[in-house]
Every structure is written in structure tokens, then in C-alpha cells.
């Protein structure tokens, strides 16, 4: 359960097992415009009743909710959401220690991903297993911001104190208490949590910065761990984390690049090379274009100030081939839509400044309005 939790920083790491691309003859004619109304209907369906195909993702219910509610906000349709009811529902997933002494027991008192990970206490009132998860906590706080909940009223001390227990000596983070993987995804989640709560006591920023810098590869991109191949998702987590922690500025390309703590020219070159001949973005070299990387790599370029260099017309054309007649977006042209690729399709169109969409906060992966608390 610990290592299979899906989260907003899950970048389809098993790309070697990519499904076969649909043949050109199997593709229906794509819509030539962004069909906002159809996308709103798709997300409204997800908001009211999650299709049975998502049963295996029950443990990630908060993540699915984040994609749905933040997606509706991107589409300027947040009026379809019962904000107070959603806020109360999200708050019910927060894990609470019985007393302050328990904050030192190594467990993480963030948010559970679903009811299935909220194990009841034993006959002595002791919770033997607390499945608070960094990614679920990021999603919970992001949803709360999106529906206008004041995060200053949340009990943040247990989250931040126990989150320090997840940081490793090398600066990386485990997503939850116990044996678990450590990589840039969870460094990003920790940085985003501290940023949204306005309190950096939950992590050692210097150690996290050093871990991130150790993940930059020879080609300029970032692997998810030191020594791994550069990856679009890992690169986003690295750059967005450094921006959230204040180690780099927005529009870094307009500043003195020689003073940057990262190799900016190589990073820009690697990121620009991820736009393929079909106009879409790939997560790694020699991989197929995929809807979600229009966000993961596109947001990196937006933060750096390099988004103006991409071929926006070609990217828009590619994304429209992934737009479903049912609403939502698929991973590849001609596929069926899913909530993950749909959300990052909406964020990609927001980066492209599509009319009728709210602007995106690239470093947090939500609307600017939600990030600023203007709901």
C-alpha cells in the first residue's frame, strides 16, 4: 500500500511498458477547438460519481478529487462545487496525534488518501498504523485552497513537526512513515505543503536544495534521484521546489544566468528538446509525446521564462488530437480520456492562455486565484 499510492507527482515512471499507440486509421477526427462545455460535463460527472474503472484507485480518492475540483476551477466552473461540503470532507481525512508526545514517534500526521487508509485504533485507542501521506496532504491543502478554505485555521503543527521525520539525511523525503521510496516527487510535495501553510519549519531547506542539485544530470534535466536519467516530471519537481523554497526566481532567463545555482543553459536546452516533431512534449528522450508533459515540461519553461520559445501552435494542434469526444483528454491521440491526463491537458491549455480558462500558477499546479487565496 505504501509504495503503490498514486499521486499528483506520479509521472508514469514505467514508461518502458507504454501501451501501443493507436493506428492512424483508428483515430476519429479530432475537434478543431477546445470544447470547454464538454470538459465541464466530464468533470461534473467525476465530481458526482467516480466511474467504476477507478476502483483500483480508491486509496487515492483525494488525488482524484484534486484533479476534479481544481480542473473545474481551471475551467471557470467552480460554482458546480459545494465548497463547504468539500472542505469538511477533506478535513475529515487529517490524521491527528492523541498528544504532542506522539509527534516524535516517526509517523506522519498529514492527510490520508482515502477512508481505506484510515485504520481504526485498537482496543487501547492506539493507532498501530497511520497512513498519512505527503502526496495526499499536498492534494488536501490544494483542494482546501481551491474551495476558499482559510489554511491559517488548520492545525498545522502536527503536519509540520511530523513531516520532518520523513526527511532523510541526504535531504530527500519519504512519502509516509515506514519503508518507502524517496525521490524528488516527495521533496516537491513537502516544499508545496510548507509554502501553502506559510511555514518552513517542516523541512530543512538547505538539505533539500542539495539533494535537488545532486539530481541534475549531465544533459541539464533532472532525474528523480541522483544518477537517474533526466525526466520531465523529475525536472518539474526540481525546478518548482527550488522556486517555492526561494532559491530561484521567476523568469530566471531574464536574470544573470551565471549566478544561478543550477546549470540554466543546459536545462533550457534539454527542456526545449522535449517538444517533439508532432508538437507534443515527451517526458524523456526518444519517447512518444504525452498530454501530461505539456504541463510537466511546459511549467518548467514557464517558471524559467522560456515558454515563449516553444511552438505553441504545434502544441495546441497535438493536444486537440488527444481531446476526447466525451470530454477530457487521453494520454495519446485517439485514446480514451482519464482524469489524470485530462487535468494536465487543462493546465496545458491554461499555459497556452486558452480563452475561458483561469490562469495557472505553474509552481503549485493550480489556478493563480487559488494559489493567491482569491476565491
pLDDT for the residue numbered 29: 60
Per-residue confidence (pLDDT) for residue 1, from 0 to 100: 32
Q: What pLDDT is recorded for position 336?
A: 94
Which residues fall within 8 angstroms of residue 211, CB to CB, at 6 or more apart? Answer: 170, 171, 172, 184, 187, 226
Q: What are phi and psi of 349, to 5 degrees?
A: -70, -30
- Specify the 3-state DSSP secondary structure of 333: coil
What pLDDT score was predicted for residue 14? 39
* pLDDT in the model for residue 41: 98
Distance (Å, whole) CA 200 – CA 186: 15
pLDDT for the residue numbered 273: 98
The pLDDT, as a whole number, for residue 129 is: 61
pLDDT score for 121 = 65
Report the DSSP beta bridge partners of residue 360. Answer: 367
Q: Are 232 and 244 in contact (CB under 8 A)?
A: no
pTM of the model: 0.91
Q: Could you state, in chain order, the average pLDDT of each consecutive group of 10 residues for the chain (375 residues)?
A: 40 43 51 94 96 91 97 98 98 88 85 85 62 93 98 94 95 89 97 98 98 98 98 98 96 78 96 98 97 98 97 98 96 95 98 98 98 91
Q: Write down how long the chain is.
A: 375
Q: Write out the DSSP string of 138-167.
A: HHHHHHHHHTT--GGGS--HHHHHHHGGGB
Q: Is 336:330 a contact under the CB 8 Å cutoff? A: yes
List of residues 6+ apart from 223 with CB closer than 8 A:
184, 215, 217, 229, 230, 231, 234
> What separation in angstroms does the CA of 186 have from each of 96, 167, 207, 375?
21, 9, 14, 27
Residue 79 is given by DSSP the state G
Amino acid at each position: 500500500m505504501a509504495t503503490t499510492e498514486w499521486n499528483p507527482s506520479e509521472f508514469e515512471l514505467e514508461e518502458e511498458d507504454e501501451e501501443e499507440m493507436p493506428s492512424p486509421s483508428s483515430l476519429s477526427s479530432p475537434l478543431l477547438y477546445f470544447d470547454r462545455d464538454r470538459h465541464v460535463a466530464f468533470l461534473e460527472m467525476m465530481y458526482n460519481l467516480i466511474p467504476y474503472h477507478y476502483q483500483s484507485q480508491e486509496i487515492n480518492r483525494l488525488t482524484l478529487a484534486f484533479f476534479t475540483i481544481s480542473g473545474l476551477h481551471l475551467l471557470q466552473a467552480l460554482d458546480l462545487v459545494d465548497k463547504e461540503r468539500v472542505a469538511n470532507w477533506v478535513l475529515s481525512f487529517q490524521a491527528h496525534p492523541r498528544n504532542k508526545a506522539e509527534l516524535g514517534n516517526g509517523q506522519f500526521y498529514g492527510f490520508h488518501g482515502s477512508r481505506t487508509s484510515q485504520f481504526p485504533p485498537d482496543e487501547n485507542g492506539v493507532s498501530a498504523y497511520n497512513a498519512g501521506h505527503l502526496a495526499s496532504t499536498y492534494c488536501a491543502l490544494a483542494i482546501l485552497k481551491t474551495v476558499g478554505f482559510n489554511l491559517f485555521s488548520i492545525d498545522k503543527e502536527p503536519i509540520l513537526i511530523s513531516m520532518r521525520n520523513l526527511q532523510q539525511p541526504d535531504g530527500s523525503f519519504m512519502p509516509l512513515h515506514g519503508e518507502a521510496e524517496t525521490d524528488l516527487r516527495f521533496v516537491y510535495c513537502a516544499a508545496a505543503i510548507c509554502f501553502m501553510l506559510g511555514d518552513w519549519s517542516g523541512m530543512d531547506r538547505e538539505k533539500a536544495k542539495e539533494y535537488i542539485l545532486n539530481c541534475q544530470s549531465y544533459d541539464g534535466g533532472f532525474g528523480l534521484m541522483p544518477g537517474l536519467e533526466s525526466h520531465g516530471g523529475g525536472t518539474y519537481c526540481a525546478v518548482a521546489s527550488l522556486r517555492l523554497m526561494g532559491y530561484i526566481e521567476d523568469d530566471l532567463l531574464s536574470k544573470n544566468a551565471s549566478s544561478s545555482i543550477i546549470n540554466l543553459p543546459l536545462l533550457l536546452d534539454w527542456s526545449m528538446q522535449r517538444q517533439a516533431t508532432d508538437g507534443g512534449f515527451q517526458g524523456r528522450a526518444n519517447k512518444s509525446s504525452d498530454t501530461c508533459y505539456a504541463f510537466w515540461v511546459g511549467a518548467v519553461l514557464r517558471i524559467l521564462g522560456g515558454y515563449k520559445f516553444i511552438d505553441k501552435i504545434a502544441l495546441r494542434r497535438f493536444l486537440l488530437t488527444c481531446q476526447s469526444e466525451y470530454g477530457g483528454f487521453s494520454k495519446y491521440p485517439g485514446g480514451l480520456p482519464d482524469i489524470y491526463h485530462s487535468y494536465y491537458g487543462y493546465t496545458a491549455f491554461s499555459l497556452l492562455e486558452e480563452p475561458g480558462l483561469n490562469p495557472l500558477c505553474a509552481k503549485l499546479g493550480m489556478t493563480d486565484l487559488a494559489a493567491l487565496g482569491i476565491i
